[in-house]
Structure 1
Amino acid sequence: MALSLLERVQAWLFRALMGALFGLFQALSSRTCDRRKLPPIENPLLTLSAVQLARKIRRREVTSLEVVQAYIDRIQEVNPLINAMVKDRFAAALQEASQVDKLIEEETGGEEVLADRLPLLGVPLSVKESFALQGMPQTTGLVSRRGVVAVVDAPPVALLKRAGAIPLGVTNTSELCMWSESHNHLYGITRNPYDLERVPGGSSGGEGSLLASAGAVIGVGSDIGGSIRMPCFFNGIFGHKTTSGLVSSDNQHPPVSGRFEEYLSLGPMCRYAEDLLPMLQIMAGPNAHRLSLSEKVDLKKLRFFTVPHDGGSVMTSPVDSQLLQVQRQVVEQLEADLGVKVEEVMFHELRYAFQIWDTYMGLPDDEGAPPQRFGDLLGTPGHPVWPVWELVKWMVGKSDHTMAAIGLAMIEKAQPAAAPASILRHKEKLQREVEELLGADGVLLYPTHPNVAPKHHHPLFRPFDFAYTGIINILGLPVTQVPLGLSREGLPMGVQLIAGKLQDRLPLALALHLERSFGGWRDPGAK
Structure 2
Amino acid sequence: MALSRLEKVQVWLFKAFIGVLFALFRLCSPLRAGVSGKKLPPVVDPLLLLSATQLAKKIRRKEVSSVEVVQAYIDRIQEVNPLLNAVIKDRFDAALQEAAQVDKLIEEETGGEEVLEDRLPLLGVPLSVKESYALQGMPFTTGVISRRGVVSTVDAPPVALLKRAGAIPLGVTNTSELCMWLESHNHLYGVTNNPYDLERIPGGSSGGEGSILGGAGAVIGVGSDIGGSIRMPCFFNGVFGHKTTPGVVSCENQYPPCSGRHGEYVSSGPMCRYAEDLLPMLKIMAGPNAHMLSLNTKVDLKKLRFFTIPHDGGSPMTYPVSKELIEIQRKVVQRLEEDLGVKVQEVHFPELHYSFQIWDTYMGLPDKEGKAPQPFAELMGEPGRPAWPLWELLKWMLRRTEHTTPAIGLALVEMSRPSRPSAFIIQQKEKLQKAMEELLGTDGVFLYPSHPRVAPKHHHPLFRPFDFAYTGIINILGLPVTQCPLGLGEEGLPLGVQVGAGKLQDHLTLEVALYLEKTFGGWRDPGAK
- Scaled by the length of structure 1, what TM-score is found? 0.96
When residues 251 and 503 of structure 1 are mapped into structure 2, their CA distance, relative to the original with a 3 A threshold, is same
SS, match of residue 198 in structure 2 = coil
- Listed as ranges, the matches of 1:241-390 within 5 Å are 241-390=243-392
Deviation at 1:23, TM superposition (A): 12
Map of 1:481 onto structure 2: 483
SS, match of residue 386 in structure 2 = coil
- 1:109 is matched by which residue type in structure 2? G
When residues 463 and 519 of structure 1 are mapped into structure 2, their CA distance, relative to the original with a 3 A threshold, is same
SS, match of residue 222 in structure 1 = strand
Q: Distance in 2 between matches of 1:199 and 1:64?
A: 32
Map of 1:218 onto structure 2: 220
Map of 2:133 onto structure 1: 131
Q: Distance in 1 between matches of 2:2 and 2:510?
A: 34
Q: Distance in 2 between matches of 1:279 and 1:243?
A: 15
Cα contact 1:307–1:345 (8 A) shared by 2: yes
- 1:49 is matched by which residue type in structure 2? S
SS, match of residue 388 in structure 1 = helix
When residues 32 and 39 of structure 1 are mapped into structure 2, their CA distance, relative to the original with a 3 A threshold, is closer
Map of 2:511 onto structure 1: 509
When residues 356 and 337 of structure 1 are mapped into structure 2, their CA distance, relative to the original with a 3 A threshold, is same
Deviation at 1:192, TM superposition (A): 0.2
Map of 1:71 onto structure 2: 73
- 1:91 is matched by which residue type in structure 2? D
Deviation at 1:63, TM superposition (A): 0.1
Q: Distance in 1 between matches of 2:325 and 2:220?
A: 26
Map of 1:453 onto structure 2: 455
Map of 1:470 onto structure 2: 472
Deviation at 1:25, TM superposition (A): 3.3
- 1:476 is matched by which residue type in structure 2? G
- 1:410 is matched by which residue type in structure 2? L
Q: Distance in 1 between matches of 2:310 and 2:491?
A: 21
Cα contact 1:175–1:405 (8 A) shared by 2: yes
Q: Distance in 2 between matches of 1:29 and 1:279?
A: 37
Q: Distance in 2 between matches of 1:103 and 1:28?
A: 52
Cα contact 2:26–2:459 (8 A) shared by 1: no
Map of 2:501 onto structure 1: 499
Map of 1:59 onto structure 2: 61
Cα contact 1:18–1:462 (8 A) shared by 2: no
Deviation at 1:19, TM superposition (A): 13
Cα contact 1:19–1:461 (8 A) shared by 2: no
- 1:179 is matched by which residue type in structure 2? W
Q: Distance in 1 between matches of 2:414 and 2:59?
A: 50
Cα contact 2:33–2:191 (8 A) shared by 1: no
- 1:444 is matched by which residue type in structure 2? F
- 1:56 is matched by which residue type in structure 2? K
- 1:523 is matched by which residue type in structure 2? D
Q: Deviations over 1:430-487 (max 9, x none)?
A: 0000010000000000001000000101111100000000000000000000000111
Map of 1:101 onto structure 2: 103
Deviation at 1:275, TM superposition (A): 0.1
| C-alpha RMSD over aligned residues | 2.2
Cα contact 2:450–2:471 (8 A) shared by 1: yes
Q: Distance in 2 between matches of 1:447 and 1:453?
A: 13
When residues 328 and 23 of structure 1 are mapped into structure 2, their CA distance, relative to the original with a 3 A threshold, is farther
1:237 paired to 2:254 = no
Q: Deviations over 1:409-438 (max 9, x none)?
A: 000010011111111100000000001000
Unaligned runs of 5+ in 2: none
Q: Distance in 1 between matches of 2:39 and 2:479?
A: 37
Q: Distance in 1 between matches of 2:169 and 2:352?
A: 39
Q: Deviations over 1:90-126 (max 9, x none)?
A: 0000000000000000000000000000000000000
Q: Distance in 2 between matches of 1:394 and 1:27?
A: 8
Cα contact 1:257–1:371 (8 A) shared by 2: yes
Deviation at 1:507, TM superposition (A): 0.5
- Scaled by the length of structure 2, what TM-score is found? 0.95
Q: Distance in 1 between matches of 2:24 and 2:50?
A: 41
Map of 1:182 onto structure 2: 184
- 1:159 is matched by which residue type in structure 2? L
Map of 2:37 onto structure 1: 35
State which of 196, 206, 211 in structure 2 corresponds to 1:194.
196
- 2:481 is matched by which residue type in structure 1? V
Cα contact 2:25–2:405 (8 A) shared by 1: no
SS, match of residue 171 in structure 2 = strand
1:402 paired to 2:404 = yes
When residues 372 and 31 of structure 1 are mapped into structure 2, their CA distance, relative to the original with a 3 A threshold, is closer
Unaligned runs of 5+ in 1: none
Q: Percent identity?
A: 73
- 2:458 is matched by which residue type in structure 1? H
SS, match of residue 251 in structure 2 = coil
Q: How many residues align?
A: 521
- 1:447 is matched by which residue type in structure 2? P
